[in-house]
Structure 1
């Protein structure tokens, strides 16, 4: 369980670092108006990740059939959260919808980059 918590913290820090670098890049390229939408998407991605981690940790102690039902209900709640965020980014004029969508994919980008690092380490035999 200790390793699980370390991995959660590490992933959250990587999400924050990705968000920081993208926000700084957007600011210096003259796209500062996109940053609020991106931050909303980044926040949603982080909350989605935390909700998923919470569900996984709670379902680990349950019987299999209860854990499956628990995870299915969690999936619906997480999807509803994403839909609400996207609807909110459409209705609030300050938020750019496509920036929010890009921020929403932050978790997937971070996970993909983690996978690339793991494969790279195993391919080049780096410990």
Structure 2
């Protein structure tokens, strides 16, 4: 989605249960919007200290640029599920197999080694 020459992205946050939050991302995650995504995720950490798992649903992402990849890879490296003494909750990513906008850059950069993608929110929730 574009508003003139400026890519747009929206982030919606919902509490799934006491310890799990689902963050739904729509639109383009690139140099201009990656910081917005990071800010939204950091707000989850700050406002919901009881959360032990964050599911990030990328099903509606239409473009995932290197800045967006960097934000997600950074999160994976900082979470408790991947780093001893990590600072945040476990992160689960969702991207359906038919979403090439996410799958292609994620697998090209071999990031599934540090943070695998789940087919849907339900399977990500089951893995937590």
What TM-score, normalized by structure 1, do the two folds share?
A: 0.32
Higher helix share: 1
Higher strand share: 2
What TM-score, normalized by structure 2, do the two folds share?
A: 0.32
